[in-house]
Amino acid sequence: MIGYGRFVVGTLLVTGATGSLGRVVATRAAAAGWTVVGTCLGAGAATPAPAERLDIRDPAAVRTLLDRIRPDAIIHTAVGRNRDDWGTTADGAANIGVAAGGIRLVHVSSDAVFSGRAVHYDESAAPDPINPYGAAKAAAETAVRATAPQAAIVRTSLILGDGRGGHEILTHALVSGRRRGALFTDDIRKPVHVDDLADALLELAATDYAGILNVAGTDAISRYDLGILVAHRDGLDPSAIPAAPSPGNHALDVRLTLDRAASILNVRLRGARDFLSTAPTS
């Protein structure tokens, strides 16, 4: 265990609190004793309390909200509705970093910053994105490092486990025929349970850890095999999932190494084969 301790349970600002990750972060933070203020772009309700409207593309709005809320920590999960919306995903992260000043900041990044050419990526790996979303997330990392050098920047992978993850929704839609397409058999990630990731972010919010940290699940698995696990868990017919090789315009095999997370975090990061063997939780 490396000593990054700085125990804080005070007021926590969760950006993107209506999102699939932010909602779980906000809920688990409140259960852990934080006073939680969530934000969203639209009018959606958020748990555990209605979210504040905030457009992170507007630097003045970000500063005004932080001046009013005066949080002890910020977990920045918000991302563009269109993932490659540069103004939200990249510039918005910069606006959060600038306004945060000395406030503890945990920024959520993605394994999409990598091409997959190297397969295994530790925290020292430099981004080499090959699609607009990965480029925007890489730019966000650079902006946060420049504006808030004491921030923790968490690179993570596919997020699921509570039935609301994008891959769970996609698998159901493909099996029912509501969506056309296929799950790629050669597109490998290390999916993480949303609860495990949320708990890791909350742990980090109460520490001084600065810089990149990989937080993902322990199993490397293809998108297709992940869909098969979701189908088995949810009583769907796995043979109804269309399979295909990736068209090659995005990363194929990205595996975040987890040694540092294991040495720093108390949360146990489960693998997809473990957490998808039981009913959805959260």
Ligand X SMILES: NC(=O)c1ccc[n+]([C@@H]2O[C@H](COP(=O)([O-])OP(=O)(O)OC[C@H]3O[C@@H](n4cnc5c(N)ncnc54)[C@H](OP(=O)(O)O)[C@@H]3O)[C@@H](O)[C@H]2O)c1
| x/- letters, 131..170, toward ligand X (CB under 6 A) | ------x------------------xxxx------x----
Write the Ramachandran bin of 41: left for phi over 0, alpha for psi from -120 to 50, otherwise beta: alpha
Which residues are within 8 A (CB) of 127 and not within 5 positions of it... i.e. 6 or more apart? 113, 114, 134, 137, 138, 141
Distance of closest approach, residue 264 Cβ to ligand X, in angstroms: 19
Q: Of 80, 127, 134, 271, which lies in the binding site for ligand X, with binding defined by CB under 6 A?
A: 80
Contacting range for ligand X; rule: CB under 6 A; set: 64-72, 75-83, 122-130, 252-260: 75-83
Q: In this structure, how many other beta carbons lie within 10 angstroms of the beta carbon of residue 210?
A: 15
What is the longest distance spanned by two Cα atoms in the chain? Answer: 54
Nearer to ligand X, 107 or 233 (CB): 107
Peptide bond into 48 cis (omega under 30): yes
Under the criterion CB under 6 A, does residue 10 sit at the interface with ligand X?
no
Nearer to ligand X, 19 or 71 (CB): 19
Q: What SS3 class is residue 123?
A: coil
Under the criterion CB under 6 A, does residue 116 sit at the interface with ligand X?
no
Under the criterion CB under 6 A, does residue 16 sit at the interface with ligand X?
yes
Distance between CA atoms of residues 45 and 60, nearest Å = 23
> Nearest to ligand X by Cβ — which residue?
19
Under the criterion CB under 6 A, does residue 78 sit at the interface with ligand X?
yes
Residue 154, Cβ density class (10 Å: 0-12 exposed, 13-18 middle, ≥19 buried): buried
Distance of closest approach, residue 211 Cβ to ligand X, in angstroms: 17
Residue whose token pair is 């975040």: 256
Q: Of 4, 8, 10, 57, which lies in the binding site for ligand X, with binding defined by CB under 6 A?
A: 57
| Site for ligand X, rule CB under 6 A | 15-22, 40-42, 44, 54-57, 77-81, 88, 92, 108, 110, 137, 156-159, 166
